[in-house]
Amino acid sequence: MTDDVLKQRIFSMMAQLSVVRAPDIRLEHRLREDLGLDSVCSMELLSMLAEELDLDVPMEEAAQVTTVAATIDMAKRHLALKQVAAAS
């Protein structure tokens, strides 16, 4: 999956949970302050990432994520770990 495809998928997930439309989401947006995602929405986003991208992100790590860019970086990191595990 390319970085752009991953970004668009994550923007789409965030838009489903936010009042901000996917085309208006920016990397620098903060999840709570700019997108209005409270803790319940953040957990729903984590669940969507797990389901749609087959990722297993620990809640402790996900709780540290506060921006759109950090969410994408976290997803990239876990996708890379999954690929390494699959290759071995």
The CATH number for 43's domain is 1.10.1200.10
| Number of folded domains that form the chain | 1
With CA atoms as reference, report the closest residue to 31 among 42, 15, 22: 42
**What pLDDT was estimated at residue 85?**
86
- The pLDDT averaged over each successive group of 10 residues in the chain (88 residues) is 94 96 97 95 92 91 94 95 86
Confirm if 78 and 46 have CB atoms less than 8 A apart.
Answer: no
Four-residue CA torsion sign, 28, 9, 65, 43: positive
pLDDT at 27: 97
- The span from the first CA to the last CA of the chain, in angstroms, equals 20
Task: Note the pLDDT of residue 84.
Answer: 87
Domain of 46?
3-87
Can you give the pTM of this predicted structure?
0.92
pLDDT, position 21: 97
User: How high is the pLDDT of residue 77?
Assistant: 94
